[in-house]
Amino acid sequence: MSPFSSETACIFLAVLAVLGGTALCKYNKCPGLVQLAICLASLWGGACWLSLSLFWGLVLFSLSCLFVYTYLSGQELLPVDEKAVLVTGGDSGIGHALCKYLDKLGFTVFAGVLNEKGPGAEELRKTCSPRLSVLQMNITDPEQIKDAVSKVTEKVQDRGLWALVNNAGVLGFPTDGELIPMTEYRRCMTVNFFGAVEVTKAFLPLLRKSKGRLVNISSIGGWVPMEKLAAYGSSKAALTMFSSVMRHELSKWGIKVSVIQPGGFRTSIAGTSDMWDKMEKDIMDHLSAEVKEDYGQEYIQVQRKFLTFINEQANPDFTPVVQDLMHAVSAKSPLAFYAPGKFAYLWFCLASFLPTGVFDYIRISNMKKCMPRALRVPNSKNKAT
């Protein structure tokens, strides 16, 4: 069996590069092309390393072309055709931007909001078309969810609901997991996980009618362990796993399920300064004397700088995440996972494939450490007594 010559390999790689370049030019706004390119590059790199025969090189090349064609053919966007979409958390941030974008494209939009008389809801009414309906929908209130189902059912009737986008969520006060009160763990799980699950269960009959889409907005923090986000990350990890299970279970009904795991985008999820004051006070009130002495009050108070850091570093432009959401809602074959945002997919890959020790070293080396009092002053307890 003759070796797969370097000249032959170069020819095939050149042709593949042309195909890939053409695809990138034509579908430059199509999510997942980076992942596709990485897969193909790894495949051909392995082929060259193994020095395959010309025959197997041709087979591999043909399979690669078929794979690219199949992938791109599934990226075709379906027509709007009066499709109805419900988005939770439409008051502000990503949900607000998505409601406006979908309305502009001609979708019938149901914007679930926490406060139907708030500024976010009023802006949607003023700037969007009559197709958009604002729904009072606190996702932790079963009665409001039931009322929303009734209103949506009345409007869509036999068409069903094409897509449900579970976007509403809370961040909480980012600090060490030991310091986060149990009330905050429960709040994150109630909103980010149980709320999304309850809304999903309530609207699934309408999704089955349309054989539509379930899109859950999780977070890169639900896959990549991030310090100070134990409550938030755990709730988003639960939502990610729920979505993965539902993707398998709902496939028999023709419903496609996608998870959006954004990186850092500047939304109102971090809360206001007044909310930070309240959460900081709750933390101090719930700590035992021993824990309070070990960490030190100044350590706890400096944690709010992390919230400021989040807002400063986050991307104010929601375009990448809105485009991925649009793809998940409208593509003929949406992806199971999306990771919009700067370096989000990179961190996803590092957490997935690197040995734990190596990944932990990278994370630690990139973190600016503010040490608790007992670690800064080793004999602080003895000195205090």
Instruction: With cut-offs at 50, 70 and 90, classify the pLDDT of residue 45.
Output: low
- Do β-strands 163-166 and 84-87 pair in parallel, antiparallel, or remain unpaired? parallel
Q: What is the structure's pLDDT at 254?
A: 97
Q: What is the structure's pLDDT at 78?
A: 92
Kindly calculate the radius of gyration of the chain based on its CA atoms and give it in whole angstroms: 24
Between 3.40.50.720, 3.40.50.300, 3.30.750.24, 1.10.8.60, what CATH number should domain 84-365 receive?
Answer: 3.40.50.720
Centre a 10 Å sphere on the Cβ of residue 65 and count the other Cβ atoms it contains: 13
Instruction: With cut-offs at 50, 70 and 90, classify the pLDDT of residue 23.
Output: very low
Q: What is the structure's pLDDT at 1?
A: 44
Query: Rounded to an integer, what distance in angstroms lies between the CA atom of residue 347 and that of residue 263?
Result: 9
Centre a 10 Å sphere on the Cβ of residue 177 and count the other Cβ atoms it contains: 13
Question: Tokens 């957490």 sit at which residue?
Answer: 351
Q: Mind listing the pLDDT tens digit for each residue in 274-324? A: 777 788 888 888 889 999 899 888 887 787 777 777 677 777 888 999 999
Checking if the pLDDT of 202 tops 80, the result is: yes
SS3 label, residue 346:
helix
Q: What is the structure's pLDDT at 38?
A: 53
φ and ψ at 377, to 5 degrees?
Answer: -125, 85
How wide is the angle at C-alpha 100 spanned by C-alphas 98 and 101, nearest 5°?
Answer: 65
Kindly tell me the number of DSSP H helices and DSSP E strands found in the chain: 18, 7
Checking if the pLDDT of 234 tops 60, the result is: yes
Checking if the pLDDT of 368 tops 70, the result is: no
- Mean pLDDT, the chain, rounded, equals 83
Q: What is the structure's pLDDT at 372?
A: 86
Q: What is the structure's pLDDT at 24?
A: 47
Instruction: With cut-offs at 50, 70 and 90, classify the pLDDT of residue 193.
Output: very high
Query: Rounded to an integer, what distance in angstroms lies between the CA atom of residue 9 and that of residue 180?
Result: 56
- CB of 81 within 8 A of CB of 163? no
SS3 label, residue 168:
coil
- CB of 113 within 8 A of CB of 134? yes
Residues 6 or more apart in contact with residue 255 via CB below 8 angstroms: 204, 207, 208, 211, 212, 213, 214
Domain residue extents for the chain: 6-73, 84-365
Q: Mind listing the pLDDT tens digit for each residue in 337-365? A: 999 988 787 888 888 888 988 888 887 76
pTM of the predicted model, to two decimals? 0.80
Which residue of the set 27, 71, 232, 295 is catalytic?
Answer: 232
Q: What is the structure's pLDDT at 266?
A: 75
Query: Rounded to an integer, what distance in angstroms lies between the CA atom of residue 23 and that of residue 31?
Result: 12
> Would residue 338 show up in a list of annotated catalytic residues for this protein?
no
Percent of the chain with pLDDT over 70: 75
